[in-house]
C-alpha cells in the first residue's frame, strides 16, 4: 500500500464521516418501503446532511479550495486552481428504494485536471481511491482494469435515461448494437460505482450520457490510474465538461467505442 498524501487522508476522513450519517438514514429509509408516504423528502435531507458534513471537513482542512457539489452553488476558492467536486450521494434512486448500492464521490481538481479521487461504498465498506501517478486502490488492494480479451466474455454497464431525461432512443440503439457482442449488461444505478467497477476489473466497460461532473470526476481518475481508458462519447473531449463518458479496459476500448458510436 502506498503512502497516501495528507489531502487524500482528509478526503477519506470526510467520506467516512458522511458515510456514518448516510448509513443511519439508509436504515430508516429501508423501513419506509412498504409505506404509502414517499421517502423522497427524507432522502433529500439525508443527501444535504452528507454534503454538509463533507464540506465542513474539507473546508476546515483546506480553506482556500473551491467547491462544486450536487446540492449547492459553486464556490470559487481563494486558490482558484483547486476545487473539490463532490457527490455526497450517487445512486439516489437506489438509496430511496432501499437498494444497497450507492456511494459518496469526492474528487480534487487542480488546474482543470482531477488529481485525487475517492469513491466510498459504505454498505460494502469499500474505498476506491486514486492519486495521479500513484495508482488506484480498493481498500488495500491495487486496482487493475480487466484483462479479458474476448468481447463475448465481457460485462458492460450503462445508465438508461429515465423520466424526462433525453437520449433514451440513442441509448436503446447502443444497447441493441452491443448485446449480441458481449456477455451482459448491467444498469446498476450509480455512475460513480460503475466507473469504480471498471477500474476494479469487475466490469469491462461503461458508458452513459447526461451526467454531471460530480457523478464521474473521481471515477475518471480511478480508470486512468488502473490502466484503463476514458473519454467522452463521440469525440475526444473532457467527459466532465461534456457530461458523457465511455470507459473500458485498454484491451477493448476501441472495439467498444466503435460499437457505441456506430449505433446511430
Ligand atoms: C445518478 C446515478 C445514475 C445515473 C444518473 C445520475 P445521482 O446520480 O449516477 O447511475 O444513471 O444519470 O444522475 O442523481 O444518484 O447522484
Question: Does the CB atom of residue 215 touch ligand 1 within 6 A?
Answer: yes
Q: How many Cβ atoms from other residues are within 10 Å of residue 23's Cβ?
A: 12
pLDDT recorded at residue 33:
73
Pocket test for ligand 1, best of 215, 217, 233, 244 (most atoms within 8 A of CB): 215
Greatest alpha-carbon pair distance for the chain in Å reads 52
Q: Under a CB-based contact definition with an 8 Å cutoff, are residues 127 and 156 in contact?
A: no
For residue 221, what is its C-alpha cell? 481518475
pLDDT recorded at residue 44:
87
pLDDT recorded at residue 29:
86
pLDDT recorded at residue 175:
98
Smallest CA separation from ligand 1 atom 12, residue: 211
Closest CA to 14 of 140, 127, 99, 96: 127
- Atom of ligand 1 minimally distant from the CA of 91: 15
What's the fold here for domain 6-142? Fructose-1,6-Bisphosphatase; Chain A, domain 1 (3.30.540)
The number of CA neighbours under 13 Å toward the Cβ of 34 is 1
Element (H, E) at 177: helix 168-178
CA of 145 to the centre of ligand 1 (A): 22
Domain range 151-262, CATH architecture: 3-Layer(aba) Sandwich (3.40)
Question: Does the CB atom of residue 88 touch ligand 1 within 6 A?
Answer: no
CA of 78 to the centre of ligand 1 (A): 30
Smallest CA separation from ligand 1 atom 2, residue: 190
CA of 189 to the centre of ligand 1 (A): 6
pLDDT recorded at residue 1:
60
What residue spans define the domains of the chain? 6-142, 151-262
Smallest CA separation from ligand 1 atom 7, residue: 90
Per-residue pLDDT of the chain (264 residues; tens, 9 = 90+): 678 999 999 999 999 999 999 999 999 888 777 777 777 888 889 999 999 999 999 999 999 999 999 878 899 999 999 999 999 999 999 999 999 999 999 999 999 999 999 999 999 999 999 999 999 999 989 999 999 999 999 999 999 999 888 899 999 999 999 999 999 999 999 999 999 999 999 999 999 999 999 999 999 999 999 999 999 998 889 999 999 999 999 999 999 999 999 997
Q: How many Cβ atoms from other residues are within 10 Å of residue 69's Cβ?
A: 20
Amino acid at each position: 500500500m502506498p503512502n497516501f498524501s495528507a489531502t487524500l487522508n482528509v478526503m477519506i476522513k470526510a467520506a467516512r464521516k458522511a458515510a456514518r450519517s448516510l448509513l443511519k438514514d439508509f436504515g430508516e429509509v429501508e423501513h419506509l418501503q412498504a409505506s404509502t408516504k414517499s421517502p423522497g423528502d427524507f432522502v433529500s435531507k439525508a443527501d444535504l446532511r452528507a454534503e454538509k458534513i463533507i464540506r465542513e471537513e474539507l473546508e476546515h482542512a483546506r480553506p482556500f479550495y473551491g467547491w462544486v457539489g450536487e446540492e449547492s452553488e459553486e464556490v470559487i476558492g481563494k486558490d482558484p486552481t483547486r476545487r473539490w467536486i463532490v457527490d455526497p450521494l450517487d445512486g439516489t434512486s437506489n438509496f430511496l428504494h432501499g437498494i444497497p448500492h450507492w456511494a459518496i464521490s469526492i474528487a480534487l481538481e487542480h488546474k482543470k485536471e482531477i488529481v485525487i479521487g475517492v469513491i466510498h461504498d459504505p454498505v460494502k465498506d469499500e474505498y476506491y481511491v486514486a492519486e495521479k501517478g500513484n495508482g488506484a486502490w480498493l481498500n488495500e488492494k491495487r486496482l487493475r482494469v480487466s484483462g479479458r480479451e474476448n468481447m463475448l466474455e465481457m460485462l458492460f454497464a450503462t445508465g438508461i435515461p429515465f423520466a424526462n431525461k433525453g437520449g433514451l432512443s440513442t441509448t436503446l440503439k447502443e444497447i441493441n448494437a452491443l448485446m449480441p457482442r458481449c456477455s451482459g449488461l448491467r444498469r446498476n444505478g450509480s455512475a460513480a460505482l460503475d466507473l469504480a467497477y471498471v477500474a476494479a476489473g469487475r466490469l469491462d466497460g461503461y458508458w452513459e450520457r447526461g451526467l454531471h461532473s460530480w457523478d464521474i470526476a473521481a471515477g475518471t481518475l480511478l480508470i486512468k490510474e488502473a490502466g484503463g481508458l476514458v473519454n467522452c462519447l463521440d469525440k475526444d473531449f473532457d467527459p466532465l465538461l461534456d457530461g458523457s463518458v465511455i470507459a473500458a479496459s485498454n484491451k477493448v476500448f476501441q472495439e467498444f467505442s466503435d460499437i457505441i458510436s456506430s449505433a446511430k
